[in-house]
Amino acid sequence: MRVAVLGAGLAGTMTAYELFRDGHEPIVIDRRSQPASETSYGNAGMIAPGHAFSWASPAALKTLLRSIGRNDTALRFKLQADPHFWRWALRFVRNCTTNRAAYNTVRKVGLCLYSQSQLHRVVEETGVAYGAVSGGALYLHRDPAALERGDRNADIMRRLGVEVRRVTPVEAARIDPVYLPIIDRFAGALYVPGDESGDARLFTRQIADWLTARGVQFRMNESIQRIETSGKHVGRIVTDKGEVQADAYVLALGCYAATVGRTIGVDLPIYPVKGYSVTIPIAGRNNPPHLSGVDEHNLFAFANYGEHVRLTAIAEFAGYDWSHKPSDFAGLLTAARELFPDAGDYDQAEFWAGLRPMTPSALPIFGRARYDNLWVNAGHGHMGWTWACGSGRITADLIAGKEPAHDVSSMLHTAQRTLAPWPRSSNASS
Ligand SMILES: Cc1cc2nc3c(=O)[nH]c(=O)nc-3n(C[C@H](O)[C@H](O)[C@H](O)COP(=O)(O)OP(=O)(O)OC[C@H]3O[C@@H](n4cnc5c(N)ncnc54)[C@H](O)[C@@H]3O)c2cc1C
């Protein structure tokens, strides 16, 4: 079957990989010159079930209200007129109950564990190298009360089989010696030995190269302009370079799955939540963190990419705005320099901002949407690297008409249940 995959970020590239593995003919279309050039370009790199707590929670609501109009908080919220934002916000608020937060966390962690197993399989199948670091992640707490709360909250993860160990600063320094000179600055940490990290951009591009070498078409520098439909069927994609016809189509456009979907009546509750990252080169004499982690007090994440350290922070509601200015990184840099004064060459930093494709529940959206040959793999929010390989496999299974090995019933687009059975006999031309 010929399948047009719209988007060459983590979601689209891994969908193409799994479709190819199943014997299909994927064609990937992306407006950028290289895969992983939008949100998958500069993320923190954490592959981390330990980081999968629901964003929507009773505490998040209070933080959101406190942040209105401020520019110095980890959560930044600018009042805006966009009605799509307000619809999204209303749904987010509905997810802020204790029960809903637990429900979403359980599903997020389950998808993390499944996806991590799929990542290991893909690495074995392809041999791609992407600066992988295993051995766990450390979630550092400065305040004893916050550590206590974090430890209690981690019980939900422990019940799902994720090992989470509470460690003293001295134990943390034994796990990663970078903390030795600063053990008096934090109260302790939660250590998640199963968490990993790696360079998502490198991984995506390596997989795209692997596929290209085997004949899969990546139509780069090609912008999708329109999706043409007839009745319950997608007929073709019109781009600035021509058109693409296929048997099936997959929307893997990150934040733009929502805007493109809207043009054909597909409602996807995905809204951009902007984040910022700083990448600094490491020279031999530096002392960077070896394991990835999060400074839970200053809310920034970090990972070691071998030759670089990546630092990321901030959740900002600013619409589809990719811009950034030096002052956006001031808080992140101050906090990072304080924790890791010698992590790398801060004067050579590369600055970036990206848009997390967030759903109100922070769960991704899979399955068919409105049309019998249109599939969605989008809305991966702050976990799209961790979930990439699982989401690709799940999407390929759904397209094949198979029950995915991981239960995604809570993540299916509502239209999935009402459409005609799939696969149907193919009549597409190319
Ligand atoms: C600051 C930050 C830190 C993060 N940290 C982590 C982390 O540590 N761990 C983790 O698991 N996740 C993390 N994430 C989340 C993760 O990066 C995203 O969930 C993931 O990259 C989303 O991938 P995607 O393929 O859905 O979207 P994208 O990577 O945005 O891919 C969508 C693609 O669609 C293309 N496109 C869009 N519109 C069109 C069009 N009209 N025509 C043609 N092409 C089009 C774009 O060019 C793009 O390549 C982080 C995100 C941010 C912003």
The model's pLDDT over 235-277, given as tens digits with 9 standing for 90+, comes to: 999 999 999 999 999 999 999 999 999 999 999 999 999 999 9
Q: What is the pLDDT of residue 429?
A: 35
pLDDT band at 145 (very low <50, low <70, confident <90, very high): very high
**What's the average model confidence in pLDDT over 363-382?**
96
Cα–Cα separations (whole angstroms), residue 260 to 228, 234, 255, 415: 12, 13, 9, 17
Asked whether 40 lines ligand 1 (CB < 6 A), one says yes
Of the given ranges (71-75, 205-209, 360-364, 404-408), which has the lowest mean pLDDT?
71-75
Atom of ligand 1 nearest to the CA of 46: 8
> According to the model, what pLDDT value does residue 223 have?
98
Average pLDDT of span 347-363:
97
Domain 2-40+201-269+361-418 class, CATH top level: alpha beta
Atom of ligand 1 nearest to the CA of 45: 8
* pLDDT exceeds cutoff 90 at 77: no
Residues 6+ apart with CB under 8 A from 247: 1, 2, 3, 373, 426, 428
For residue 350, pLDDT over 80 is answered with yes
In the chain, what are the domain boundaries? Answer: 2-40+201-269+361-418, 55-106+124-194+271-357
Q: Is it the case that residue 421 has pLDDT exceeding 80?
A: no
- Contact status, residue 102 vs residue 156, Cβ threshold 8 Å: yes
Q: What pLDDT sits at residue 430? A: 32
Cis? peptide before 269, omega within 30° of 0: no
> 105: Cβ below 6 Å to ligand 1?
no
Full-model pTM: 0.96
354 C-beta closer than 6 A to ligand 1 = yes
Q: Give me the pLDDT at residue 427, please.
A: 43
Residue 423: pLDDT band with limits 50, 70, 90: confident
Task: Check if 136 has its Cβ closer than 6 Å to any atom of ligand 1.
Answer: no
Mean pLDDT of the chain: 94
The CATH code of the domain at 55-106+124-194+271-357 is 3.30.9.10
Confidence class of residue 417 from pLDDT cuts 50, 70 and 90?
A: low
Per the DSSP assignment, residues forming a β-bridge with 317 are 77
Do the beta carbons of residue 397 and residue 404 sit within 8 Å?
yes
188 C-alpha to ligand 1 centroid (Å):
32
7: Cβ below 6 Å to ligand 1? yes
Average pLDDT over residues 364-378: 96
Rounded CA-CA distance 23/388 in Å is 20
* Higher pLDDT pick, 70 / 230: 230
Worst-scoring range by mean pLDDT, 14-23, 119-128, 238-247, 276-285? 276-285
* pLDDT of amino acid 81: 85
Q: Is 43 in the pocket of ligand 1 (CB under 6 A)?
A: yes
pLDDT confidence band for 283 (50 / 70 / 90): confident
Give yes or no for residue 12 CB within 6 A of ligand 1: yes
User: pLDDT tens across 106-115, in order?
Assistant: 999 999 999 9
SS (H, E, C) 38-51: CHHHCCCCEECHHH
Residue to mutate, 113, 253, 278, ligand 1, most ligand atoms under 8 Å from C-beta? 253
